[in-house]
Amino acid sequence: MHNDVAFSDYVASHVPNAFAMEPVTPGLLESVIAREINRLINSDFSLLLSILYRLDVSEVKLKDMLKDNPGQDSGLVITRLILEREFEKYKSRQRFHKEDNIPDDERW
């Protein structure tokens, strides 16, 4: 029993610190993603295209944004399109969310 208490105390005092994170600001998130996008542009462009396809980022919109912003960091432009698309998907899920208010006896 003594070991269980000691272990519980240890876990309670150390585990939360192991998983502690600083809050992520939108600007920090954007810069981290943009940095990774730029790395993929330079090192694995086909993987980047695959990721953009899976995230359902519009190819037409991407080409237009890159063409309309020639002096801007491409990684940042692509990141903003990714975040915009993810937000659109979130709003869509919220709009079409079904309530699970089905009584237990009617579930199957």
Task: Let me know if residue 72 belongs to a domain.
Answer: yes
Give the predicted TM-score (pTM) of the model: 0.69
Angle at 74 between CA 72 and CA 76, to 5 degrees: 80
Residue 70: pLDDT band with limits 50, 70, 90 = very high
- Tokens (6 digits) for 44: 């694995």
User: What rounded mean pLDDT belongs to the chain?
Assistant: 85
Number of independent structural domains in the chain: 1
Task: Let me know if residue 4 belongs to a domain.
Answer: no
Task: Let me know if residue 63 belongs to a domain.
Answer: yes
Q: What percent of the chain has pLDDT over 90?
A: 58
- Model confidence at 50: pLDDT above 60: yes
Which residue range forms the structural domain that includes residue 50?
Answer: 13-95
Provide long-range contacts, Cβ within 8 A and 24+ apart, for 73-76.
73/34, 73/38, 74/37, 74/38, 74/41, 75/33, 75/34, 75/35, 75/36, 75/37, 75/38, 75/41, 76/30, 76/34, 76/37
Contact 76, 30 (CB under 8 A): yes
- Model confidence at 75: pLDDT above 70: yes
Angle between helices 45-54 and 26-43 (to 10 degrees): 130
| pLDDT at residue 48, rounded to an integer | 96
- Which of the two residues, 83 and 9, has the higher pLDDT score? 83
Task: Let me know if residue 102 belongs to a domain.
Answer: no
Residue 22: pLDDT band with limits 50, 70, 90 = confident
- Model confidence at 14: pLDDT above 80: no
Q: What is the mean pLDDT of residues 76-100?
A: 89
Helix, strand, coil shares, percent, the chain, to 5: 75, 0, 25
Task: Let me know if residue 34 belongs to a domain.
Answer: yes
Task: Let me know if residue 108 belongs to a domain.
Answer: no
Residue 17: pLDDT band with limits 50, 70, 90 = low
